[in-house]
Amino acid sequence: MKMLRRWWLPLAILLAWQGLCSLEVFPPYKLPSPLAILAGLVDLEARGMPPGQRLHWHLFYSLLRVAIGFTSAALIAVPLGLLLGASSSLRRLISPLIELLRPVPPLAWIPISILWFGIGLPSAGFIIFLGAFFPIVLNTITGVTSVSPVLVEAALTLGASRREVVKKVLLPGALPNIFTGLRIGLGIGWMTLVAAEFTGVKSGYGLGYMIMTARDIQRPEAIMAGMVVIGLTGLLIDGLVRLLQRRLVPWQRSRANDA
């Protein structure tokens, strides 16, 4: 019942869409019906696109690229953000560099990254790395600088070393922002991936590559089924990070529950 209240609008749109397609208001080669897309989805897995290359392998390779790019971004960006957040002199030194690089859209790096790394996993990984890196670093810095200096002083009077201040005050204090950064970074990474695969993968596997293949052979229901997979996977990944966030930032959750 609650589900219905929340999802009735998308459901209604799906029904109307199906109805209009059944009445042939839209030509099926432009806008396939929801049922046709569902059939396309089943076909992507059963037969593959191109035939023999099945959906779950496309999904697997896309996830692998994101995992590699995102993980390396997080492993560098979080410690760097902590360092820059903790030291204002370092921040003054590095910030202009970050500000200069940040406005370059990750996709604008595709040509140069293909030149550097060739076509394939490394260049796709690099693009995703770039997409995820900046939101993570900037949110981590914000998180650290928003930690109340009184908490740092309290830790110092309790005998904390500088290292312990970073580990036991700045890191946990910045954690809510770090998670925001990770979620944004992962979202951008995922979006960047598909675009990177449009151009960066000429054969093999990947959801972006799969969609481009479907376009080349004029299969709109397969294109849209691919879009559905991309959307749902993105939603799922974000849900997983949120779950992790709730486990690792329990003091924030209980605050939300109190409110």
**Binding residues for other proteins, per CB under 8 A?**
148, 150-151, 153-161, 164, 168-169, 172-173, 175, 249-251, 254-255, 258
The whole-angstrom separation of Cα 232 and Cα 234 is 5
Q: Helices 2-22 and 34-46 sit at what angle, rounded to 10 degrees? A: 90
Smallest gap from residue 165 Cβ to other proteins (A): 10
Q: Toward other proteins, which CB reaches closer, 52 or 149?
A: 149
The whole-angstrom separation of Cα 45 and Cα 38 is 11
The residues, any chain, with a CB within 8 Å of residue 180's CB and separated by 6 or more, are 139
Q: Is the alpha carbon torsion for 194, 199, 203, 209 positive or negative?
A: positive
Q: Toward other proteins, which CB reaches closer, 68 or 249?
A: 249
Smallest gap from residue 156 Cβ to other proteins (A): 4
Smallest gap from residue 169 Cβ to other proteins (A): 7
Q: Toward other proteins, which CB reaches closer, 22 or 161?
A: 161
Q: Toward other proteins, which CB reaches closer, 28 or 250?
A: 250
Backbone angles phi, psi at 228, to 5 degrees: -60, -45
**Count of other CB atoms within 10 angstroms of residue 5:** 8
Are residues 155 and 171 in contact, defined by beta-carbon separation less than 8 angstroms? no
Smallest gap from residue 167 Cβ to other proteins (A): 10
Are residues 140 and 85 in contact, defined by beta-carbon separation less than 8 angstroms? yes
Smallest gap from residue 30 Cβ to other proteins (A): 53
Q: Toward other proteins, which CB reaches closer, 141 or 170?
A: 170
Q: Toward other proteins, which CB reaches closer, 68 or 155?
A: 155
The whole-angstrom separation of Cα 258 and Cα 73 is 34
Smallest gap from residue 142 Cβ to other proteins (A): 17
**Count of other CB atoms within 10 angstroms of residue 163:** 8
Q: Is the alpha carbon torsion for 90, 96, 100, 102 positive or negative?
A: positive
